[in-house]
Amino acid sequence: DQQVKQNSPSLSVQEGRISILNCDYTNSMFDYFLWYKKYPAEGPTFLISISSIKDKNEDGRFTVFLNKSAKHLSLHIVPSQPGDSAVYFCAASNFGNEKLTFGTGTRLTIIP
């Protein structure tokens, strides 16, 4: 029973264009969402997060959108750069719970 789903295992985007990574969740108790980025032979690195009281959070080239009614969030990267090529994980948690529930990841490849 996977509570956090990333249905696209891979995505290729031209350099300079927008990358959109998607994540769906099933547990309505989740109220905090995070995106992590992982390079080969390294651990995941925290990228950006959003609380359920917001529908958008922006940090430089990265923006996360949350649609609570659809139980869907997305990560937008614009403009995409070659260094953005990595595996991106979506994760979710709820207040008072230190556990993070992760998706299976999406491998993003930026084409020069």
Partner 1 sequence: ETGVTQTPRHLVMGMTNKKSLKCEQHLGHNAMYWYKQSAKKPLELMFVYNFKEQTENNSVPSRFSPECPNSSHLFLHLHTLQPEDSALYLCASSRREDYEQYFGPGTRLTVT
**Site of interaction with partner 1 (CB under 8 A):** 2, 4, 32, 34, 36, 41-46, 49, 89, 93, 98-105
Contact assessment for residue 102 and residue 89, using Cβ atoms and an 8 Å cutoff: yes
C-beta of 4 vs 73, nearer to partner 1 = 4
Min dist. Cβ of residue 108 to partner 1 (A):
16
Give the whole-angstrom CA distance, residue 73 versus residue 21. Answer: 9
Min dist. Cβ of residue 9 to partner 1 (A):
8
C-beta of 21 vs 34, nearer to partner 1 = 34
C-beta of 98 vs 112, nearer to partner 1 = 98
108 closest CA partner among 21, 4, 18 = 21
Min dist. Cβ of residue 4 to partner 1 (A):
7
What single DSSP character describes residue 84? Answer: G
List phi, psi (to 5°) of 65. -115, 140
C-beta of 49 vs 78, nearer to partner 1 = 49
- Give strand pairing partners of 89: 36
